[in-house]
């Protein structure tokens, strides 16, 4: 009898394990097939701190140069934590979730014609989204600083301006002034600044057009390459 009880316990545990794996496989299938359809959620079971408006998501993507696309376009890997978070969420909502959106850098998506910290979200309707899971470490403040010039044209000009101003002010006086110069050092630095600003701006624009690079404000929901 003891052996029979042990066998039944093992069998129950094995079936439970199989059921968990099957649920995990179904979640992965939904993740890789989702069109980002809206879900009717039980708001009483939601964590308010995980609810984001589309305007907040847009700002996040622009600041960190990320994409916000359907999870079916995601080509990264989903860690166990994300699967478990989805299982828990489905249990709390008492329903299967099939609508998923991803926030991640462009290289992690399969884009048309063709740093990493993904965020898994569920559309709630009304331009609101619920954060399910986040993994990686690409939302580092340093990334925000590095991609600042790519936010929009104004940010690019500000970056070029500050860079040229810093170089003009820090450039050694001995390399600016010659024996024949009669002007003050500040006059020479102003001339150097304007020369650098116009030349650097021209090279930046030339590089941007040659590489067909676009700004974050135009890319955050784009399914195409830069």
Q: What is the mean pLDDT of the chain?
A: 79
What pLDDT digit, counting tens, does each position of 115-140 carry?
A: 456 888 899 888 899 998 887 666 67
The residues, ordered by sequence, that sit 6+ positions from 62 with a Cβ below 8 Å of its Cβ are 151, 152, 216, 217, 220
pLDDT of the residue at 133? 85
Measure the CA–CA gap between 112 and 226, rounded to whole angstroms. 10
Name the packing angle between helices 80-93 and 2-33 (round to 10°).
Answer: 100
pLDDT band at 57 (very low <50, low <70, confident <90, very high): very high
pLDDT (tens digit per residue) in 73-105: 888 888 888 889 999 999 999 999 999 999 988
For residues 32-56, average pLDDT: 91
Work out the average pLDDT over 6-32. Answer: 66
pTM (2 d.p.)? 0.59
Q: How confident is the model at residue 14 (pLDDT cuts 50, 70, 90)?
A: very low
Exposed e or buried b per residue across 107-123, where buried means at least 16 C-beta atoms within 10 angstroms of its C-beta: ebbebeeebebbbbbbb
CA dist., res. 94 & res. 42, Å (int): 9
Look at 53 and 35; give whichever has higher pLDDT: 53
pLDDT at residue 113 in the model? 44
* Rg of the chain, C-alpha, whole Å: 26
């Amino acid at each position: 009898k003891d052996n029979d009880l042990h066998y039944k316990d093992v069998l129950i545990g094995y079936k439970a394990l199989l059921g968990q794996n099957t649920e995990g496989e179904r979640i992965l299938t939904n993740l890789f097939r989702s069109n980002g359809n809206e879900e009717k959620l039980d708001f009483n079971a939601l964590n308010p701190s995980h609810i984001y408006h589309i305007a907040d998501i847009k700002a996040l993507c622009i600041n960190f140069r990320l994409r916000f696309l359907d999870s079916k376009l995601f080509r990264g890997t989903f860690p166990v934590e994300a699967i478990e978070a989805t299982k828990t969420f489905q249990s709390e909502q008492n329903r299967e979730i099939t609508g998923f959106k991803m926030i991640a850098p462009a290289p992690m998506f399969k884009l048309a014609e063709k740093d990493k910290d993904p965020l898994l979200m569920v559309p709630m309707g009304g331009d609101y989204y619920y954060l399910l899971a986040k993994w990686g470490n690409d939302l580092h403040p340093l990334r925000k600083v590095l991609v600042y010039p790519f936010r929009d044209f104004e940010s690019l000009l500000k970056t070029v301006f500050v860079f040229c101003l810093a170089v003009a002010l820090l450039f050694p006086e001995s390399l600016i002034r010659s024996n024949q110069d009669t002007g003050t050092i500040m006059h020479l630095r102003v001339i150097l600044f304007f020369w650098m600003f116009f030349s650097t701006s021209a090279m930046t624009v030339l590089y941007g057009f040659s590489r067909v690079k676009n700004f974050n404000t135009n890319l955050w929901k784009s399914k195409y390459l830069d």
